[in-house]
Amino acid sequence: MTPDNHTCAIGEQWSNCADAERREPVEPVLSCSCEAALDKVKDTCCTETYGGLLVATQLWSTFTGLESHGQLYPKHAWGIHGLWPDFCNGSYTQYCDLSRQGEPIDQWFGPYGKLDLLAYMNRYWVSQSDPNWVFWAHEFSKHATCYSTFQAECYGPKAAQHSDLFDFFETVITWQRRLPTFRWLADAGIRPSNSTGYTVSEVQAALTERFNETEAGRGSADNGRTVLNEVWYYYHVRGTPQRAEGRKLDAAAAGGRLTTCATAEGAVKYYERTEGSEN
């Protein structure tokens, strides 16, 4: 990696895979493929090499704890959790650059003309118990710092301050907007209810039909793992995550578990949000 600007303008690249029958032009490189090996990638700012298994994660919580401050969940929508850079085998690291840790970042948006981004994040990327910016700073410092393509050096010496941070947030949102989990579940008759229980296979079937691969449903909030509160979607990415082009993956094939939820019939609860906790 050099301190120069990394335009990532895709020129002619060639497959160097050992099993390739002939050299073919490849653009851009798919993460976790043989072309994405570190010894074959010329610029790690332009091909994701640290965390090539992307996990787009969403949350369903019933209250924020800060309703009196106007911090509410979006109605008829799951909340954004993040976009995580797992290793190709499904393991992961975190907090890869301690110099890029959380500050009160909500004050940075206005001076850089990002108030529309701030408004969107305050609506759809909502924290529980903490101000939203604490959640955002946590996701940036824990996950963004572990991508090769979001390293500060990738933006060059002339980049505006915080370019990496805003770029990460915008990238997360681009991927997340393609995943209307609430609508996909509702279309299958699966709606929040304080009385009805669902079978986790029903939830997975509804999302799999629309995502075209099996996602990973997460159950927690109690020891019986009966509360549906998170969904994970897996991808490999072409070039940089910022380009928002990827290949959807089955959770099992990606090294993930299909669910941590209870699997008994009707065991999973998808609770309604508390009155006054969404708008």
Q: What amino acid positions are annotated as catalytic residues?
A: 81, 139, 143
| Beta carbons within 10 angstroms of residue 265's beta carbon | 12
Tokens of 5: 């600007």
Assign residue 71 a region (left: φ > 0; alpha: ψ between -120 and 50; beta: otherwise): beta
Three-state DSSP state, 176: helix
| Beta carbons within 10 angstroms of residue 201's beta carbon | 16
CA atoms within 13 A on the CB side of 156: 7
For residue 228, the surrounding DSSP H or E stretch is strand 227-237
Q: For residue 31, give the nearest of 127, 125, 148 by alpha carbon.
A: 148
